[in-house]
Amino acid sequence: MVDASARLVTLTRAGFATRGLLYIVIAIFVITTGRAEDPAGALQYLGQGGGRIVLLLMAAGLIGYGLWRLTDAILNIEGHDDDHSGLGKRLGAGASGVIHLLLAWQAIKLSRGSGAEGSSSPQEHAQSVLAIPGGATMLAVVGLVLLAVGAFQLVKAVKASYLEHLEPKIANQPWAKWSGRLGYAARGVVFMITGFFFISAGLSEQASEAGGMAEALSWLTSPWDMVVAAGLLAFGFFSLIEARYRVIHQVPVEHLSSRIKSKLG
């Protein structure tokens, strides 16, 4: 019988594949029609084409991926160093986990026919933050964090450190190296642009200045929109490579469950 840890690994691989499909859709929209979307918009498009079953399968993968990333943030299952760099990677894993769980919830709502009406834009989120004391400062801080994440993605692209997580026989392949390099570079550019958007929203106290991936892609002019879209397409393919060949450390599900039960008992 397959244990819970192995099942979570399978779901995590499905999550990598789902992430890849979302990025491929986003890139194809820009390249073929000039339409700018974010992962939530791509999820909605795929749901319309594939229906409720596809959305639920994607939601399952996103849940597995999100839980795996959160577990890495909490338990350090990926073995990050005990320094500032390692802490940053774990915080990034936690943020990624939350984002993908929210995407999973979006997929579930879409499968019920209510996702599109319930989604919120970056501007609406920014407006909610500005409504609380210190909200402008919080938006600026979010922007600085996004700038840092973008810079980290660019460093990752240059160093090709993403190859460390792939099976050695695949990590040595040029197509794996360059799809990841182009993909992380494009993601870095998108994160940095959205960071500037949020800093601008905080400094001006105007929610309309905020923006996410869709706004960042719309802001880019030709030919840079196509260049970044090509990079995002490469990242989508690299995510599919990760779905098959990434070395995924198992989450000790049974051990954690036993500990929780013993404490509750």
Residue 72 has pLDDT above 60, yes or no: yes
Cβ atoms of residues 182 and 230 within 8 Å: yes
Q: pLDDT for 81-90, tens place per residue?
A: 888 888 888 8
Mean pLDDT in residue range 100-125: 82
Residue 63 has pLDDT above 60, yes or no: yes
Mean pLDDT in residue range 42-59: 85
Q: Tokens 């399978």, residue? A: 10
Q: pLDDT for 227-244, tens place per residue?
A: 999 999 999 999 999 999
Rounded CA-CA distance 4/61 in Å is: 15
pLDDT band at residue 22 under the 50/70/90 scheme: very high
Phi-psi sector, 160: left (phi>0), alpha (psi -120 to 50), beta = left
Residue 261 has pLDDT above 90, yes or no: no
Residue 40 has pLDDT above 80, yes or no: yes
Residue 48 has pLDDT above 90, yes or no: no
Residue extents of the structural domains in the chain: 4-251
Greatest distance between any 2 Cα atoms in the chain: 62
Cα distances (angstroms) measured from residue 167 to each of 83, 85, 106: 26, 23, 32
pLDDT recorded at residue 1: 41
pLDDT band at residue 254 under the 50/70/90 scheme: low
Cβ atoms of residues 61 and 264 within 8 Å: no
Q: pLDDT for 142-189, tens place per residue?
A: 999 999 999 999 999 999 999 999 999 999 999 999 999 999 999 999
The CB density around residue 230, as the number of other CB atoms within 10 Å, is 17
Mean pLDDT in residue range 116-123: 71
